Structure 1
Amino acid sequence: MSDTAVKVIQKVTWIGSLANIALAFIKITVGTMTGSQALIADGVHSFSDLVTDTAILIGSRYWTAPADKEHPYGHGRFETLTNIFIGVLLALVGIGIGWESLTSISEQAHSKPGMLAFAAAIVSIVVKELLYRWTAIKAKAINSRALYANAWHHRSDALSSLPVAIAVIANYFVPELHYLDQIAALIVTAMILKAAAEILWPAVLEITEAKADADIESKIQAYAAEDSDIKEVHAIRSRRTGSTILLDFHLLVDPVMSVDKAHTIAENFKSHLLYELDEVVDIIIHIEPFNCKERVLNPCCDDCDSDINTLS
């Protein structure tokens, strides 16, 4: 990752942190003043964003580091660990808010939230949605999954403020519906847990070495078909490390071709793939002769000891 990308991550995260501090303080203070449990819960959610911001600021110093002797494949998994931390923290915050709401849902409200609580929720929705859109654009520009996960943390905060605003305004005009505040907090919980799952699942797939991209094999085959010197590509394997993808596959060429020419074909194809596939940063190609023994996609005979001169 370039120095420019690192600076983008640092700048976006610091601005988001300052916004989170302000919003958390406003929502918790106003929630306490007006007696809105949902707004307080939403403020705690905003405060949890500060922890994830810190994880991004610290983690980015590691996952952006180049490959070294101890980490020959790079440091991308540090970004994966950061995503896991963000997802787990979100889940814990959601569970805590949900438990507090469930245990107090039958309690009578001592006061009804006023329009100040409604205004605080609206401000949160607007600010956090703007932060989400801006952070997501920056994350896409530099291809950072962790920054995009943090963008969704902003979006979950914006969405969580929506039921809070609805509950506050409904409770203001219809005090008998005091339980709407707790129900809104439960809706906030569901949204937080959903966001946590959407962040955690890709990280789990990466840690368990799942295929990086469902479409990557078909893309490679399509590019290979455009090169007449490439007879076949098979045994394609891909894995993700942070925001990048590592590839390896077998490439078959004319068996009478010189090693030097076969190497050149492989290197040119590798360069082409690195240019076309944005997330791919390294490719290992195993060159094989295009004969009956090595062919996989279109086997030419049942007896693999056949003379290679019978090849079409």
Structure 2
Amino acid sequence: MPEPSDQHHDKGKTIRTVTLVGAILNVFLAVLKIGIGKFAGSQALVADGVHSFSDLLTDAVILLGSRYWMAPADSGHPYGHGKFETLANVFIGLMLALVGIGIGWDSIETLSDTPPPAPGMLAFYAAVAAIVMKELLYRWTMREAKHIHSAVLRANAWHHRSDALSSVPVAVAVITNAIFPSLKYLDQIAALLVTGMILKAAFEIIWPAFNELTDARGSEEVEKRLVHMAEEDKDIREIHAIRSRQTGGSLLLDCHILVDPEMSIENAHAISERFKQSVITKMDNVIDVVIHIEPYTCEERLVNPCSLDEQLHQQKKKPDR
């Protein structure tokens, strides 16, 4: 099994490589969209190009910030540096929202102006090329994000998808205007649709990050799996008080496990350590489990309360004080 430091190094390297490739493509697409948008007279394509340039800022945040949140736990941050990744997600989401609002505002202002000439077909070809390239980049980035359990890489993947989607109404508006020249303001309406898509993507990035910063429940699915693993362990009589919270792309868990009350402390500790290592090994995104050991007695049992006969039996077994 690789050492934690090696895993952090590999994960950080993947994040930086994927982000750097995305940044290079964003520069190319931004220049392409803005240049052709100006030449072909498409406000929507220019707005889409500005959106691509905004991706560069988030790419820079990831490239610089990943070295901080990928650092292992230390005395100053005993739970690790995962919250730096969460803050980066908030920044990416806010940047997306601001870009979307700016594009929408410009589009609304121009709706009151004299309708501009219909954009040239060159804008359509540029938009289609952007859709294909950014969709491919989204799929690759999302695949890598799932592979290394990176929330910030997943957020950036959605940033790429929002850029691809924002080019769709641009392409539709240009081709529709070419077929029906009498239709006015299609380009501005397409820019407003771009705004809606960008704001939706921003919300989908910010909301999970907000929940993480407020220590909302990490993962109900992981908690259920933890119960299942405890039930399969013959030395664990019961598990309860399970809690989970997210930190960056990882999960922290804590729980109470009940064992034979006549077992030695040493054996009970060995069971908890074995169970902890099993959970961390089998659940890739879990980085730590804090386990509180309790005796399997009527006073401690919550999931399977004692019957009246069991309570009387345990009372008889208690030594007189």
Scaled by the length of structure 2, what TM-score is found? 0.93
User: What does residue range 79-94 of structure 1 map to in structure 2 within 5 Å?
Assistant: 79-94=85-100
Name the CA distance, whole Å, in 1 between partners of 2:95 and 2:190.
21
Name the CA distance, whole Å, in 1 between partners of 2:220 and 2:208.
13
Report the 3-state secondary structure (helix = DSSP H, G, I; strand = E; otherwise coil) of the residue aligned with 1:13.
helix
Name the CA distance, whole Å, in 1 between partners of 2:314 and 2:83.
44
Structure 1 pair 310–277 and aligned structure 2 pair: CA distance change class (3 A): farther
Supply the AA of the counterpart residue of 1:201: W
Name the CA distance, whole Å, in 1 between partners of 2:72 and 2:315.
47
Name the CA distance, whole Å, in 2 between partners of 1:197 and 1:310.
60
Deviations 1:128-183 (A, max 9, x none): 01111111111111111101110111111001101100001111232221211111
Deviations 1:24-56 (A, max 9, x none): 111111111121111011011101000110111
Counterpart in 1 of 2:294? Answer: 288
Instruction: Select 2:152's aligned residue among 146, 149, 163.
Output: 146
Structure 1 pair 306–241 and aligned structure 2 pair: CA distance change class (3 A): farther
Counterpart in 1 of 2:3? Answer: none
Name the CA distance, whole Å, in 2 between partners of 1:182 and 1:166.
12
Deviations 1:115-134 (A, max 9, x none): 11111101110110111111
Supply the AA of the counterpart residue of 1:44: V
Instruction: Select 1:162's aligned residue among 163, 168, 172.
Output: 168
Report the 3-state secondary structure (helix = DSSP H, G, I; strand = E; otherwise coil) of the residue aligned with 2:89.
helix
Instruction: Select 1:275's aligned residue among 266, 278, 281.
Output: 281
Name the CA distance, whole Å, in 2 between partners of 1:164 and 1:255.
69
Structure 1 pair 29–302 and aligned structure 2 pair: CA distance change class (3 A): farther
CA contact (8 A) 2:239 2:255 kept: yes
User: What does residue range 79-118 of structure 1 map to in structure 2 within 5 Å?
Assistant: 79-118=85-124
Counterpart in 2 of 1:300? Answer: 306
Name the CA distance, whole Å, in 1 between partners of 2:273 and 2:157.
37
Dislocated runs of 4+, deviation >4 Å: 301-307
Instruction: Select 1:64's aligned residue among 63, 67, 70.
Output: 70
Structure 1 pair 175–232 and aligned structure 2 pair: CA distance change class (3 A): same
Supply the AA of the counterpart residue of 2:129: V
RMSD: 1.7
Name the CA distance, whole Å, in 2 between partners of 1:81 and 1:158.
25
Q: Is it true that 1:178 corresponds to 2:184 in the alignment?
A: yes
Shift in Å at residue 302 of structure 1?
Answer: 7.4
Supply the AA of the counterpart residue of 2:208: P
Name the CA distance, whole Å, in 2 between partners of 1:310 and 1:280.
42
Structure 1 pair 304–242 and aligned structure 2 pair: CA distance change class (3 A): farther
Q: Where does structure 1 lack aligned partners over 5 or more consecutive residues?
A: none
CA contact (8 A) 2:8 2:72 kept: no
Name the CA distance, whole Å, in 2 between partners of 1:303 and 1:293.
14
Q: Is it true that 1:42 corresponds to 2:51 in the alignment?
A: no
Q: Is it true that 1:241 corresponds to 2:247 in the alignment?
A: yes
CA contact (8 A) 2:111 2:188 kept: yes
CA contact (8 A) 2:8 2:71 kept: no
CA contact (8 A) 1:34 1:111 kept: no
Counterpart in 2 of 1:32? Answer: 38
Report the 3-state secondary structure (helix = DSSP H, G, I; strand = E; otherwise coil) of the residue aligned with 2:290.
strand
Instruction: Select 1:120's aligned residue among 126, 132, 136.
Output: 126
Instruction: Select 2:22's aligned residue among 16, 25, 32.
Output: 16
Shift in Å at residue 276 of structure 1?
Answer: 1.7
Supply the AA of the counterpart residue of 2:250: T
Deviations 1:246-265 (A, max 9, x none): 01110100100001111111
Report the 3-state secondary structure (helix = DSSP H, G, I; strand = E; otherwise coil) of the residue aligned with 1:308.
helix
Shift in Å at residue 309 of structure 1?
Answer: 6.6
Name the CA distance, whole Å, in 1 between partners of 2:181 and 2:46.
19
Report the 3-state secondary structure (helix = DSSP H, G, I; strand = E; otherwise coil) of the residue aligned with 1:215.
helix
Shift in Å at residue 272 of structure 1?
Answer: 1.2
Identity, % of aligned positions: 58
Structure 1 pair 208–302 and aligned structure 2 pair: CA distance change class (3 A): farther
Q: Where does structure 2 lack aligned partners over 5 or more consecutive residues?
A: 1-6
Shift in Å at residue 284 of structure 1?
Answer: 0.6
Scaled by the length of structure 1, what TM-score is found? 0.96
Structure 1 pair 220–159 and aligned structure 2 pair: CA distance change class (3 A): same
Name the CA distance, whole Å, in 2 between partners of 1:30 and 1:111.
15
Structure 1 pair 178–225 and aligned structure 2 pair: CA distance change class (3 A): same
